A = this chain, B = another copy of it.
Amino acid sequence: MGKYYIDDRYNDLLNLVQDKMSYAAHDFDHVLRVYQLAMFLAEDEESVDRDVLIPAVLLHDIARRLEDEDPTGKTDHALVGAVMVGKILQELGYDEQLISKIKDCIASHRFRSGSPPSSPEAKILYDADKLDVIGAVGIARSYMLGGRHGERMYLDIPLAEYMAKNVGENGRIKDVAQHAANLEFELKLKHIPDKLFTAKAKALAKQRLDFMYSFFEVLKQEIDGQR
């Protein structure tokens, strides 16, 4: 699937990533989607080094499972991932300067931590990864996670009231059984376009959000038995 082919010389990285990925939202399929998007965004950006971008994309979530499975919630998969990737690429004999650039992309791909992405490759990885949270993919992904965690399908509650009830000061959801994808959309996902760097990603994000708005509108009508 996908338009952009992954060169055979990345087979060792692909095999390694397949072994280490987490479940549902951050599985190997996520890596392949981010790869397709990153290649699509790269077409419109100048001076993108694909020898940096491609390994960074393939390896960006390598430590995600460690974060997901850490009961203390303190593991940051971007920072831990960058360190892991440094070791992996050294063992595979990658050039030190290249390794440093790839690590930099991975360390800065996360929303909430690390320094913001600065290189063209880091910006593309960041944008592609965020785009994968919205649109039809974002809907499917939200519900896959929702089903896994025991969330509700839809909750018709004003956002301010919801936040007062179920969102802690740290932004954490207190009770997942009182959470739903439409609230995740209102709380977080619809603000994604403001956080992107490349013009092409911003345009795609707007289109993907429009699709989500209409999805939740139709969903509400159906739930109300009016469609």
Given A29-B152, A140-B153, A222-B208: A227 touches B147 (CB 8 Å cut-off): no
B135 and A227: CB pair below 8 A? Answer: yes
B153 and A223: CB pair below 8 A? Answer: no
Nearest CB of B to A182, in Å: 9
Asked if A93 lies at the interface with its beta carbon under 8 angstroms from chain B, I say no
Asked if A125 lies at the interface with its beta carbon under 8 angstroms from chain B, I say no
B139 and A223: CB pair below 8 A? Answer: no
Asked if A6 lies at the interface with its beta carbon under 8 angstroms from chain B, I say no
List, in ascending order, chain B residues with CB within 8 A of A145's CB. 147
Given A140-B181, A181-B140: A33 touches B225 (CB 8 Å cut-off): yes
Given A153-B29, A153-B141, A156-B1: A219 touches B136 (CB 8 Å cut-off): yes
Q: Select from chain B the residue with minimum beta-carbon distance to A211.
A: B218
Q: Select from chain B the residue with minimum beta-carbon distance to A23.
A: B150
Asked if A213 lies at the interface with its beta carbon under 8 angstroms from chain B, I say no
A147 and B150: CB pair below 8 A? Answer: no
CB proximity to B under 8 Å, residues A204-227: 204, 207-208, 211, 215-216, 218-219, 222-227
Scan A166-190; emit 1 where CB is below 8 A from any B CB, else 0.
0000000000000001000000000
Asked if A94 lies at the interface with its beta carbon under 8 angstroms from chain B, I say no
CB proximity to B under 8 Å, residues A113-127: none
Asked if A3 lies at the interface with its beta carbon under 8 angstroms from chain B, I say yes
Q: Could you tell me the distance between the alpha carbons of A123 and B115 in the complex, rounded to whole angstroms? A: 60
Q: Could you tell me the distance between the alpha carbons of A151 and B181 in the complex, rounded to whole angstroms? A: 18
Scan A24-55; emit 1 where CB is below 8 A from any B CB, else 0.
10000100010111111000000000000000
Q: Could you tell me the distance between the alpha carbons of A142 and B224 in the complex, rounded to whole angstroms? A: 19
Taking A2-B223, A29-B152, A37-B225 as given, write out 13 further A-B residue pairs in contact, using a Cβ cutoff of 8 Å, ordered by the A residue number.
Answer: A2-B225, A29-B154, A33-B225, A39-B225, A40-B225, A136-B216, A139-B140, A140-B153, A140-B219, A143-B143, A143-B144, A144-B144, A144-B146
A3 and B139: CB pair below 8 A? Answer: no
B139 and A153: CB pair below 8 A? Answer: no
List, in ascending order, chain B residues with CB within 8 A of A215's CB. 136, 139, 215
